[in-house]
Structure 1
Amino acid sequence: MNEEMKSVLAALEAIEKKMSENVSKEEVKALEEKQEKLSKQILDLQQKGLKLELPQTKQVKTVGELVVEHEAFKNYLNGNATKCRFEIPEFKAEESGSQTPATPTVQNPMLTPTGGVVPAYRRPGILGLPQRQLSIEGLFPSSPISSNSFEYVRETGFLNKAAVVAEGSAKPFSSISFDVKTGKVHTVPHLAKVSKQMLEDAPALIAYLNTRMTYGVDLVVEDLLISGAGGDTTLPGIFTTGNYTDV
């Protein structure tokens, strides 16, 4: 293609040189016709050259495919590594109307957005959901124990005979009855899934455990203290029969 173009350009140069000399009108007309023919031939060669030199669309893998197929990611997924780091190769897209196409040409390129890529400010901590105010559990005395059961003395009856009597009269006796009760220690489990990023962020993990996890346990315990059915599987609440006195 280059050799043919060179020969045509050489012929045009020869025609222009000859036209600059003193030639007859007939010769000038013949040279102009030949020049026009060669110009069309050059245009045709240029069009063919453009068609041959158009860059072929290169099929590339997406970012997701590059990530999941990367050896570092496979090692992390299999548990052979605690972290994975890899670089995604950058491909430049062909600019519209450019005379020099970029190489390679990529389908659906990722371009920088108009607003830039500076990350937005993130408020520290976690903005949690509204929580119910806990007030019942704090009214009950508590103490730590090391066994799965405990005993306590409970008042089961009170006969009040207090009264005004005359001097020298016998004083009335009131009666109070007690009973030894056995209580059972119940377990309130609470589990949650935590991301690996939070596990590596100690302050965020501590705050999460101290707030949301402990709140979940306290919320269930408070509900049991109010309306627990009792028995072998749950705590007896203050509204359970035997735990309150009708007045």
Structure 2
Amino acid sequence: MNMMTSAAAMTAASIPLAREFGKKEGPGTGATLDQRLASALEEVKGFATEFKTKSEAGEKISTETKEKADKALVDLAGIRAEVTELAQKFDARRPNDEDHGYKSIGQQVGESPELKSFADNGASGTVTLSVKAVTSATGSGAALIVPDRQAGIVGMPQRKLRIRDLLTPGRTTSNSIEYARQITRTNSAAPVAEGALKPESNYAWEVANAPVRTIAHWVPASRQAMDDIPQLESLIDGDLRYGLDDAEDLQLLLGDGQGQNVYGLYPQATPYSAPITVAGATRIDQLRLAILQVELADYDPDGIVLHPAAWTGIELTKDAAGGYIFANPQGIAGPTLWGRPVVPTKGIGAANFLVGAFKLAAQIFDRMETEVRISDQDRDNFIRNMLTIRAEKRLAMAVKRAAAMVRGTLL
């Protein structure tokens, strides 16, 4: 019989656990659990050595020796039960261990089927206990600790897009929009005497063209990532679409019409020129005068575009008594000024404003709505197991009535 391995394993694995809980003494012994365990293992090992020696020499083992050996095994089983009890208390101090599938040293020893079988079979034969110390340190049991993974992916912030909503929508099947716009209107209509010559009015038009522009971008992604993270494809799809809308928003507002840029609203708007003089004019006054300028051009403004910081400054304007002039901190109505909705957007710049009858001023023509395509037919994607995800849209914007918009710099 070989009990050397089992005794060594039991001592190495169980004694640290006993020390973890301090001096748990047995009844009337005055010994700590680790001392009792070591003593019991030593006694069992002694009987095993004696049995082996006498068995090899052909000597008979006395009844008294067998009884002592049986008692030693019973004592060892009792200590094993105490170890199991301590393991349970030890685990109670470590929440969620069971959920994550790892066990303390004492629990590994106490619940070991090899140890149970070894004791039940009269400590005959050889038993090997493999016990690992588990800690959270790098290179130890860290791989066994499962992180609490939160569902979902936290994305980047996305600003609200609104310029398209100001304009009249439309569609096209061509690569450009050609339209005639009136550039001269001289109205000479007047009462005329019988037989007199009628006055002549003058109207003139010009042909304008708004080319369809393409807005596009792409990102690479591995096929494995797309397969292993079900929500990744929809997230990439959403971000690509937002990227197009973000670029479109800036193009519709600020595009200079050069190269592949859309010719935007702000560059084509009529420069601000105060129709009347107001003493001590403020930004609030200035925007009302811009509305008047559009009205004097025979259009009815339907919106104001401002930077969020500029609009906040206006909302926080107070009278001499400290009361808000326009804002109602408890109100839930959308932002409005002089009866017109305010569209806050960072794209316009903190010092600028745009006032206009936007529905009449301009129209969007969608040639191709947002399209997202995935392909491995790009460069060496096929052999690298990569995918190219491309998003694009095509549109044109025709500014038909530039005089219906006024742009300027805030006071």
Give the TM-score category using the shorter length. 0.3 to 0.5
- Please identify which structure carries the higher strand content: 2
- What TM-score, normalized to structure 1? 0.45
After TM superposition, the score normalised by the length of structure 2 is 0.30
Greater relative contact order (Cα 8 A, min sep 6): structure 1 or 2? Answer: 2
